[in-house]
Amino acid sequence: MQLGYCNSLIGQNRPRGSGFTGPLDAFTTGLLAAFDAEYLLLSTHAGGAFRVRESIGNTEAVIGYTAGRIDATAFNAHIGAGNGYGVRWMNQVSGGTDHVQTSDATKQGQVLLNQIDSGAVLKLDNVNDGYTSFLNLSARPWTIYLVEKGVAGGTTRTLQSPVDNRIISTNRNASNTAFIGGNVSNHYAGFAAPHVAALVGTAGGTSYFVDGIDRTATSGNTTQFGQINLGIGLIVEGANSCVCTILVYNVAHDNTTRAAIEAVLRTLRPSIP
C-alpha cells in the first residue's frame, strides 16, 4: 500500500492566553510516558495527539489539540468521508517514545471521536491491531495506568509482551477472572463502562488495582515485566478495546498518589466506576 505523507501539524496545542494547566502537571515525577486519545495532559507538550492516516487517499497528518482537547475540526477535515487510523500515538512526555505502526497499515487502530464520555479513543480490533514496543520495564520500580473500555465479543489483551504471556487488561474475558499462565495482570471488569487499571511494581512484588480496588488476588501476580506492546504481542489475540489513556512512571506509587492520579483520570472520564 502506498501511503501519502504530510508533515504539517493540524490544530493548535495550547489554548492561547488561557494560562493552561495540564491535568497531570502536578504528577510528573518519574513520568516516562503519557498518552491520551482526547486530552492534552501536560502543558509542556508541544507535539500533536496522533498522526492520522485517512482511509480514502491514505494521506497522513498530525492532529493537534485545541482548548486542551483533540482538534475535532482538523481531524474531520482530514479524514473527510473516510475513517482515521492512528499511524503514531504521540507521547506527551518530552523525549519519550511514541506508539508507532508504520510497517502494516492493517494493524493501525482506528481513531474515533465522541466515544467515551464524549471523548476520543484508539479502538483496537479483535484481529491484529498493534503498535511497536515502546518501553522496557524489566527493572522495577514502576507504575502503569491504563484507561480502557473493552468491546464485547472478543478477548482483550491490551498491553502485552512481545516475547511471553504477560498481560495488562481489565477485560480479557469472563472465563479468566483469575490467574492465566504466565505473568498476567487481569481482572474481568465487564464491558458496561470504562475502567482504570493500575499496576504497581516494586522490588518486593506487584500489586494490581482496577477502579481503585486491589485485584491482585484475582490476577496473576506479575513477578517480572519486560518490553510491552499496545495490542498484539506473542499471543495472537486482538485487543478488542477502546483505549483512552496510558501512563507509565519509573517510580512505585503509594496508595495516596495512586488514588490521586486515578481521581484525575475519573475527572476526565466520569463514567469510570
Mean pLDDT of 121-144: 80
pLDDT at residue number 158:
80
Residue 200: closest CA among 250, 129, 235, 269: 250
pLDDT at residue number 19:
81
Grid cell 495472537 — which residue? 236
pLDDT at residue number 172:
59
Considering only residues 10 and 65, tell me which one the structure prediction assigns the higher pLDDT: 65
Mean pLDDT of 110-114: 97
pLDDT at residue number 236:
56
Beta strands in the chain (DSSP E): 9-10, 31-36, 50-54, 60-63, 65-66, 69-70, 84-89, 99-100, 110-116, 119-124, 130-136, 142-150, 159-160, 167-169, 184-186, 195-202, 205-210, 213-214, 227-231, 241-249
Say how many C-beta atoms besides its own lie within 10 A of residue 19's C-beta: 7
Residue 145: closest CA among 158, 126, 156: 158
pLDDT at residue number 97:
87
Cell output for 1: 500500500
pLDDT of 138 above 80:
no
18 burial type by CB count under 10 A (0-12 exposed, 13-18 middle, 19+ buried): exposed
Residue 244: closest CA among 155, 114, 136: 114
Least confidently predicted of 24-38, 69-83, 184-198: 184-198
Mean pLDDT of 251-264: 97
pLDDT at residue number 133:
64
Considering only residues 188 and 248, tell me which one the structure prediction assigns the higher pLDDT: 248
pLDDT at residue number 205:
77
Instruction: Kindly indicate the confidence band of residue 230, based on its pLDDT and cuts at 50, 70 and 90.
Output: confident
Considering only residues 233 and 255, tell me which one the structure prediction assigns the higher pLDDT: 255
**Cα–Cα distance for residue pair 260/82, rounded to 1 Å:** 39
Q: Pairing mode, if any, of strands 142-150 and 195-202?
A: antiparallel
Q: What is the mean pLDDT of the chain?
A: 82
pLDDT at residue number 262:
98
Q: Which of 5-14, 35-44, 96-105 has the highest mean pLDDT?
A: 35-44
pLDDT of 49 above 60:
yes
Instruction: Kindly indicate the confidence band of residue 204, based on its pLDDT and cuts at 50, 70 and 90.
Output: confident
